[in-house]
Every structure is written in C-alpha cells, then in structure tokens.
Amino acid sequence: MNQFDGKVAVITGAGSGFGREFALKGAALGMKLVLADVDVKGLAETVEMARGSGAEALGVPTDVADTTEVDALARATIDAYGAVHLLFNNAGVGTGGFVWESSANDWAWVFGVNVMGVANGVRAFTPLMLAQNEPAHIVNTASVAGLLSAPGMGVYNASKHAVVALTETLYHDLKIVGASVDCSLLCPAFVPTGIANAERARPEGLRNHEPLTASQRMAGRQLTKAVEGGKLSAKQVAELTFDAVRERRFYVLTHPKILASVQLRFDDITQLRNPTDPLSLKPEVKVGA
C-alpha cells in the first residue's frame, strides 16, 4: 500500500503516544481517520488535532479488550467511510515486577488490551479488508519485549511475545489466500510515550488494592526513567512505520542495536544454553515500547 490520500485509517490507542502520531501522520497524508481509545479526553484531543490539520476524523471511544466494542468500531468505520485501508492495532498497557508477584488482575488487564486488543482488531477488520479486494495493510504494535525476555517484565513480555506470534501467523495466512492485504509488526524499544502512565486507564474492576511490592516499585522507576530517556520520538517512529507500509516491510524495529540482544537469545536457543539476561550484552540497550 503506497497511496494514502483519501484512504481510511483506523487507529487504536489514538489518545496519546504512537497512536496520536500515527493519526497526525495519516492526516498529513490526506487520510480519513477513525480514532479509538479508552481515554476519552486524550481521544478528543487527537481528533481535534487531526481536524485542525484539515483531515476528516471520527473519534470512537473503545475498549479494545471488549469484543463488542471493537465490532462496533468496525461498523462505525464502514458506516462513516465505507471502507478501511490501514489498521493500526496499537493500544497497549504494561505492568512490571517479578512474575510471581503479578496479580490475576495484572494478567487479565495486560492480556486483554495487548493480546485480545490485537486479536479483536484482526478478527473484526481483516474480513472487511479482504472483501474490498484492494491494497490494504495492518500494523500490529508489539515491542522488542516480544523478541526478548528481560527480567521484571514477565506479564508484559508474555503479552508482546503473543503479538509477535499472532502477527507472524497473520502474515503467512494472508499469503496463503493470496490477499492484497499486507501486515507489519512494529517492535519499538523505549520511546517517550504514555506507556509509563498506563495505570491511569486500568478499569476499576481490574485494579489492585494491595501495596506495590519492592520489585514492582523498582520496575516502575526503571520504566519511567527509560521512557523519559528515549532518544527516538513517537513522531519519528510514526515516520518509520509509514515507510514500512509503503515498502510492504514486515519487521519494523526502531532501534537496530537491539538486534545483538535478539541474536544472543536465538543463539542461546539453538545452542541449548540457559537464557542470557538481554540487558547484560549492552547496558545502554533497553527493552520496552
């Protein structure tokens, strides 16, 4: 897909971070936008920013973990514009701390958004794209945490590994049916976005009421520091991602230096070695999204 003017883009997690920058980039390219987020205030701000640049933009408050709400998002898209050409399954949240200290609510919340949010988007929108029989593209946001397994990030790592597997399988399935629909897997490292403040969007029914453990407090501090220190902006990641869509490129890694840690992991696997801490290779290389 290399023509964007007049085409329709659907973006989840559009209220901040990557989602907002995807929206603004799409607007600059003349796309019609359907923007979704559970953060109603942030979503409204992005819609106004997109409209301010001259784009047609519709905001649809959506909890991507809810199947019925994603189905409603798909219907709203077709009702408004009659088609969908570019889908960003981008919404994401995270928690930290030792794996055994993560609560059932942590697992339900992170997997609901990070995994089922992507699955719901693929399920609801791919048939619409296939029926159009014209070039279309799906971008699923994972993380380098889907390619590595850094300590203290077990729930987040597991969710992003699932997104990697889901998207690689989606790529193969689309090839089998000879579709004009392509897909990409976005795997960013730390970038200044709202991921460190994701807790603000946690549903009340999935909140924890126990005090944070020492490992969870440490993980939170490390995440905030790493995100604030990211040298690549969300806007730059959006540029890289749209380039990948134009080039029909599957893997979108924003920080190439991380590939050394990825290679180390695969070497551990192929040589049947015990896992190496991915942060031990180069201390300046951080894992996240």
Measured CA distances, 88 to 68, 141, 216 (Å): 18, 7, 30
Q: In angstroms, rounded to a whole number, what is the distance separating the alpha carbons of residues 66 and 113?
A: 9
Q: How far apart are CA 204 and CA 64, in angstroms?
A: 16
Two tokens, residue 189 = 């490292």
Polymer length of the chain:
289
Q: Are 90 and 19 in contact (CB under 8 A)?
A: yes
Amino acid at 99: V
Question: Which three-class secondary structure state does DSSP give residue 218?
Answer: helix
Question: What single-letter DSSP state applies at residue 233?
Answer: -
Give the three-class secondary structure for 190: coil
126-146 burial, b at 16+ Cβ within 10 Å, e below that, comes to bebbeeeeebbbbbbbbbbbb
Q: Is 156 a catalytic residue?
A: yes
CB contact set of 58 (below 8 Å; sequence gap of 6+): 33, 34, 35, 47, 76, 77, 80
Q: Which of 81, 156, 171, 251 is catalytic?
A: 156
Helix (H, G, I), strand (E, B) or coil at 60: strand
Residue 150 phi, psi dihedral angles, 5° rounding: -70, 150
Q: Known catalytic residues?
A: 156
